[in-house]
Amino acid sequence: MSREKVYLVGTGPGDPELITIKAERIISSSDVLVYDDLIPPEIMGLANKNARTIYVGKRAGRHKMSQGEINSLLVQLAREGKRVARLKGGDPCIFGRCGEEAAYLKKHGVDFEIIPGISSATAGPVSVGIPPTHRHLSSSLRIVTAHEDPTKEDSLLDWENMAQDKGTIVFLMGASRIGAIAKRLIAEGMDKDRLCALVQDATTGFQRHVLSTLAKVEKDAKRMGIGSPCIMLVGDIAGMAHELFEPKSLPLEGTSVLITRPIHLAWESALRFFSQGARAYVYPLIEISELAFDIPDIESHDMFIFTSQNAVNLFMEKMLSSGRDSRIFSGIEIVAIGPSTADALYRYGITADIVAKFYTAEGIIEAIEAKGVKGRSICIPRAKGARPYLVDALQDMGAWVTEIPVYESRMPANADSESFYHMLAKVDSVIFTSPSGAMNALELLGDGATEILNTKMIVTIGPITAGFLKDSGLEPDLSANTHTDIGIIEAMKGARK
């Protein structure tokens, strides 16, 4: 079946969990993601590892590509036989220029589909306790672009009619025109004491809002430093915020982090950080490449040691494809480096007999040395080029060790210096979860590595990655005691107290 098709995808207002199921499916199966600044950055964690990402950043006054260039790009990619996801913040058809792109695709014979999304026009007010409509307060909702200059004489907007509106008016993309909008509405007859609300970065950990009146909103916005992206709501319904809004403080609120894990692990990581208030950007610095390997005579071994989820998944899938299943491990002792690896084993019907308390090779040795391994046959499916410590220590204890390289970590094909520098500029913290990821970061940054990384908070998953960075001349700011995402989050929370 032909794949060439362009999907114009709404990615929601900011909270990555507000994306639709269909949008998630399209993103994860697309060959190319064409995106700009206003999509939730966590969404990029849904991409498949072979997907190409193209940044076309469009914000007021700063265009990476013109609209015409974007239109041509979409047609070109489709004609190359690609499945393309054109990602847009909110709903693509609410001031997202979706209609223009769809018409251009139609004109050039390109198959396309529009995937609606949740708009900040409704999610923004709701996130601060303001339902856009209410049976007793507002029976209508008007959504207006604020990109048009309110002082323009030949306006396409009927400001006189709008000023008489007793319902709710939501202006999108209007952070720079808050004062002009308020003045124009008052000039056309709207009560200067009419309630209004501003919501910046709606539904994210950076969200801020202001409740005001038309007469005071410009001054209040400046006092609070309200900027883009921002919605402006006008209407009596704004008063509902006093009744319904419940402020909450998340421990990593206002923090922006860069997740460098492999793409297939990035989505879950991004959601964990987002749930704590952080804005999570995704830039995989390693990808997992399966190696050719043979399944050994499993029953001839006394113990299997798994040191990663990747090793579990690749080994088990290969075993299952050979016609065997988890029953073959009956009577064989299974060791997992940590709970995530143990969970991966459990998904294949295997319960780990031993889970290391410290999620390192040293932790594994500590967990099994009391049992004694002298004369036992141990198999370790793991990454090519992994630290030799585990094998050496087991052999020193008298074990017979078979090491099976089932994958290797390498630089992602679509990683490059320009895009990595661009991503680093967005964040205040960088998270490294492996020495190989840290090594690839240094390679991409070249001579500027130390200078730029020293401007960020460097957080590592554990001592091995921290040690690599120290040997490379960089001092990590934090290192997790528990070597998981949760451990990293706890370390960052502790540093903010």
* Catalytic center residues: 36, 58, 173
Q: Quick check: helix, strand or coil at residue 367?
A: helix
Query: Structure tokens of 252?
Result: 């990593």
236/191 Cα distance (integer angstroms): 11
CB 78 within 8 A of CB 32: no
Q: Which of 431, 491, 435 is nearest to 463 (CA)?
A: 435
Q: How many angstroms separate the CA atoms of 257 and 335, rounded?
A: 32
Do 124 and 118 form a contact (C-beta atoms < 8 A)? no
From 195, 191, 148, 151, select the one nearest 172 (Cα to Cα). Answer: 148
Q: How many CB atoms lie within 10 A of CB 324?
A: 14
Amino acid identity of residue 351, one-letter, is T
* Sheet with strand 429-432: strands edge to edge: 279-282, 256-259, 429-432, 457-460, 478-479
Q: Are 117 and 11 in contact (CB under 8 A)?
A: yes
Tell me 431's DSSP state: E
What does the block give as tokens for 207? Answer: 């969200």
Phi–psi pair at 303, nearest 5 degrees: -150, 140
Pairing of strands 5-10, 83-88: parallel
Rounded to whole angstroms, how far apart are CA atoms 9 and 7?
6
Beta strands in 173-286 (DSSP E): 195-200, 208-213, 230-234, 256-259, 279-282
Measured CA to CA, the distance from residue 174 to residue 186 in angstroms comes to: 17
Q: Give the containing element (helix H, strand E) for 83.
A: strand 83-88
At 367, give phi and psi (nearest 5°): -70, -30
User: Environment class of residue 453 by beta-carbon count within 10 Å: exposed (0-12), middle (13-18) or buried (19+)?
Assistant: buried
Residues of 93-124 as b/e, b for ≥16 C-beta within 10 angstroms?
Answer: bbbbebeebbebbeeeebebebbbbbbbbbbb
**Cβ 280 vs Cβ 426: under 8 Å:** no
